[in-house]
A and B are shown apart, each in its own frame.
Chain A
Amino acid sequence: MRGWLLPSLALLVIAAFAGSLLVGPAGLAPLAVLDGLFGLRSETVVLVVQEIRLPRSLLAATIGATLGLAGAALQGYLRNPLAEPGLIGISGAAALGAVLTLYTGLSAAFSLALPIGGMAGAVCAVLLVQALAGRDAGTLSLILAGVAVTSFAAALTSLALNLAPSPFAALEIVFWLLGSLSGRSMEHVALAVPFMAIGWLLLASCARGLDALTLGEDAARSLGFDLRALRRRLILGTALSVGAATAVAGAIGFVGLVIPHLLRPLVGYRPGALLPVSALGGAVLLLLADMAVRVVTPGQELKLGVVTALIGAPFFFWLVVQSRREAT
């Protein structure tokens, strides 16, 4: 089963990445884009491809991978199908942290402050949700804690933006609550990708521990897994990757929910094996969603969160119906 899954997902990522480079208002021919990518065309084409489209595609792929991976890891660790960075408040709190550093001018003075703010917000959210819901949380308490953290973070984000000195800030609430890749540059890539990569490594290192955890905590412990170390790596990995991602693109929901659910049956319900395929799946989904916002309304782009919610919300409905059927 798994033999073909990873390569085919990787191919999909490459195809979606190429497609993402080809889409844009300037309407460049595919060959021109290819040449532009390697700096072989006129300065204008090179500028459009290398400075405008490439950072956008890179961020869509890496942020999508982050959200898919973090969703899969959280679901495995909390043994709860609804654990997802957006739903349990990590993205919202990361956005708040980023907003606080950006609009106070801290990130203008010290650019790393932006991802650090996002990651600090994410750490706070994970710890808060865990404290509120307890370690082996039931679905209800986890979701309640997540809703509480999310709405509190959203309220504080709106408040901070309303109080921000810039006259544009209040209009940017939408960016932070729904997420967007519009106007992103290589500077954002350089700020976010290194932290995301460290986060991925930490999360990937949890794979075997998560597999063992399906047998129960005691069984996992008796197999020699240090559950506390596992938890630390998981929290840190999630916070680093989701925090950095949110700091440059806002809170993008549902990717971490939908992708692990879709792919779980294909890996035999093993949480460890789910991690890499969810990362690739998340990358594909966000690349496609970001192409959609550019194609559907080319003038004034939709926010990314709108598209992911349009895909994710019906899926959520289906999940609710499914769980009720199982309950009866």
Chain B
Amino acid sequence: MPRARAVLVIAAFAILACLQPGAAGAADGERPARVVSLNLCTDQLVLELLERERIASISFLGADPRYSAVAGRARGIPRNHGRAEEVLRLDPDLVLAGTYTSRATVALLRRLDYRVVEMAPPRDIPAVRAQIRRIADVLGVSKRGEALIRAFDRKLRAAAPAGAGARPSAVIYEANGIAVGDGELADAAVEAAGLSNLAAEMGLRGPSPLSLEHLVVARPDVLILQNHGENAPSQATHLLDHPALRHLRERTAVAIVPEALWTCGGPQLAEAVARLAEARRAVQREGG
């Protein structure tokens, strides 16, 4: 019965899928050979860990250098927009998805007995390690995963502060006047770089609005801005050009962290931490 319904659903969605016999229900192999990723964060891990012949498709965001740190490796790999028909046509033996995105597609693929592995966005550094390890295991490339984690840890150790001295304060200020508070991956990166997240100390949790007035009065040692690449104009990003913020930028150290480095919890996060540590060292040198 579920099988019959499955065929019906496929027929309704994509004629192409029906033309391929046995499109649904691929066998669970040890090493999946046709991996489809539906989420920016799984895209990046797949591109890091897997040889390209085994990648059937990644999401369009994973190929966009504004959001993806490994967009350069995505050339020539088919892109999807998280829609079920795109996935069915590729007949994957493993589908990777985020826990918050493409929900309808994931539910449908599960009903059709596809193997779907979901990944929750990590909120701290240990969770990043665990996630790399888990995805590497699922892809059947555990050794490569361990090597990636070792390189990640080396970079983090290099970025960590030497002693337990006073930590300069920092605020991550994003478009629309949003600061990143406690309990976010970016907050964990700031702490790992030896800075203290002023927004978290002010009691903000997660991404929260922080007025320009508060920011100016708080006077962080380091102002962390995201680089949206060649972002198109909007009111949200114009706020970062406000004269008050320009004054603040002249008086404090500024660290620019491209969005692609810390949107996802992958090995690229270590690079974000390294850049933040550089800003910390600059402040500490100036302070004596």
Interface residues of A (CB under 8 A from B): 24-26, 43-44, 47-48, 51-53, 102-103, 105, 107-108, 164-166, 168-169, 171-172, 175, 183, 185-187, 298-300
* A166 partner, pick from B209, B232, B247, B251, beta carbons under 8 A: B232
Whether the Cβ atoms of A48 and B213 lie closer than 8 Å is yes
Shortest B214–chain A CB gap in Å is 5
Task: Give every chain B residue within 8 A of A26 (Cβ-Cβ).
Answer: 211, 213-214, 216-217
3 closest A-B pairs by CB:
A168-B236, A165-B232, A166-B234
Instruction: For residue B95, give the distance in angstroms from its CB to the closest CB of chain A.
Output: 26
- Which listed residue, A47, A48, A107, A168, touches B175 by the CB 8 Å rule? A168
Tell me whether B236 and A166 are in contact (CB under 8 A): yes
A102 CA / B214 CA spacing, docked (Å): 28
Give every chain B residue within 8 A of A300 (Cβ-Cβ).
209
In the assembled complex, B219 has its CB within 8 A of some CB on chain A: yes
CB-CB under 8 A for A168 and B209, given A44-B217, A47-B244: no
List residues of B (217-272) whose CB comes within 8 Å of A's CBs: 217, 219, 231-239, 242-244, 247-248, 251
Q: Check A51 against B247 for contact (C-beta < 8 Å).
A: yes
Q: A40–B208 Cα gap in the complex (Å)?
A: 32
Looking at the assembled complex, report how far the CB atom of B62 sits from the nearest CB atom of chain A, in whole angstroms: 16
Let me know if B116 is at the binding interface, CB within 8 A: no
What are 13 A-B interface contacts by the 8 Å CB criterion?
A: A25-B211, A43-B247, A44-B216, A44-B219, A51-B247, A52-B244, A53-B213, A103-B234, A105-B232, A168-B235, A169-B234, A171-B176, A183-B239
Does B177 lie at the interface of the complex (its beta carbon under 8 Å from any beta carbon of A)?
Answer: yes
Are B232 and A169 touching (Cβ within 8 A)?
A: yes
- Measured between alpha carbons, how far is A71 from B247 in the docked complex, in Å? 39
A28 to B236, CA, bound (A): 26
CA distance A215 to B256 in the complex (A): 66
| Distance A299 CA – B233 CA, assembled complex (angstroms) | 25
**B49 within 8 A of partner (CB):** no
B212 at the interface (CB under 8 A from A): yes
CA distance A236 to B182 in the complex (A): 52
> In the complex, which of the residues A25, A53, A172 contacts B214, with contact meaning CB atoms closer than 8 Å?
A25
Contact present for B234 and A172 (CB under 8 Å) = yes
**A172 adjacent to B236 (CB under 8 Å):** yes
Q: What is the CA–CA distance of A172 and B235 in the complex, to the nearest angstrom?
A: 7
Q: Mark B189-216, 1 if CB is under 8 A from A, else 0.
A: 0000000000000000000110111101
Are A52 and B236 in contact, CB atoms less than 8 angstroms apart? no
Contact A175 B235 (CB under 8 A): yes
CB <8 Å contact, B216 and A52: yes
Q: Is A25 a contact partner of B236 (Cβ separation < 8 A)?
A: no
Q: Which residues of A contact B231 (CB under 8 A)?
A: 166
Asked if A185 and B242 make an inter-chain contact with CB atoms under 8 angstroms apart, the answer reads yes
A187 close to B243 (CB less than 8 A): yes
Chain B's closest residue to A106 (CB) is: B233
Q: Which residue of B lies closest to A107 (CB)?
A: B233
Which of the residues B208, B219, B238, B248 comes within 8 Å of A299, measured between beta carbons? B208
User: Which listed residue (B177, B232, B237, B247) contacts A47, Cβ 8 A?
Assistant: B247
Shortest distance from the beta carbon of A168 to any chain B beta carbon, whole Å: 4
> Hey, which chain B residues are within 8 Å of A185, CB to CB?
242-244
The distance in angstroms between the C-alpha atoms of A24 and B215, with both chains bound, is: 12
Taking CB atoms, residues of chain A closer than 8 Å to B242 are: 51-52, 183, 185
CB distance from A96 to the nearest CB of B (A): 15
- Check B237–A168 contact: CB distance below 8 A: yes
Least distance between B242 CB and chain A CB atoms (Å): 5
Within the complex, what minimum Cβ distance (angstroms) separates A12 from chain B? 26
Report Cα–Cα, A107/B244, bound state, in Å: 21
Tell me how far the C-beta of A177 lies from the nearest C-beta in chain B, rounded to whole angstroms: 13
Further contacts, 7 of them, CB under 8 A, given A102-B235, A172-B236: A47-B247, A102-B234, A103-B233, A166-B231, A166-B237, A172-B235, A299-B208
**Nearest CB in chain B: distance from A311 CB, A:** 24
If A44-B217, A48-B213, A300-B209 touch, does A183 touch B232 (CB 8 Å cutoff)? no
Cβ A183 vs Cβ B235 within 8 A: yes
Name the residue on A nearest B175 (C-beta).
A168
Residues on B with C-beta less than 8 A from A53 are: 213
Residue on B nearest A165 in the bound complex, by CB: B232
Query: Closest Cβ of chain A: how far from B203's Cβ, in Å?
Result: 12
| Known contacts A107-B233, A168-B175, A183-B238; A51/B209 CB under 8 A | no
A48 CB, min distance to chain B CBs, angstroms: 5
A185 to B247, CA, bound (A): 13
A150 to B237, CA, bound (A): 27
Task: Give the Cβ gap from B119 to chain A, nearest Cβ, in Å.
Answer: 22
Evaluate contact between B244 and A51: CB separation under 8 angstroms: yes
CB distance from B68 to the nearest CB of A (A): 14
On whether the beta carbons of A164 and B232 are closer than 8 Å, the reply is: yes
**Min CB–CB distance A7 → chain B (angstroms):** 33
Q: Nearest-CB distance from A36 to chain B (Å)?
A: 11
- Which residues does chain A contribute within 8 Å of B247, judged by CB atoms? 43, 47, 51
Determine if A166 and B243 form an interchain contact, defined as CB atoms under 8 angstroms apart. no
Contact between A183 and B212 (Cβ–Cβ < 8 Å)?
yes
In whole angstroms, what is the CA distance A183 to B176 when docked? Answer: 9
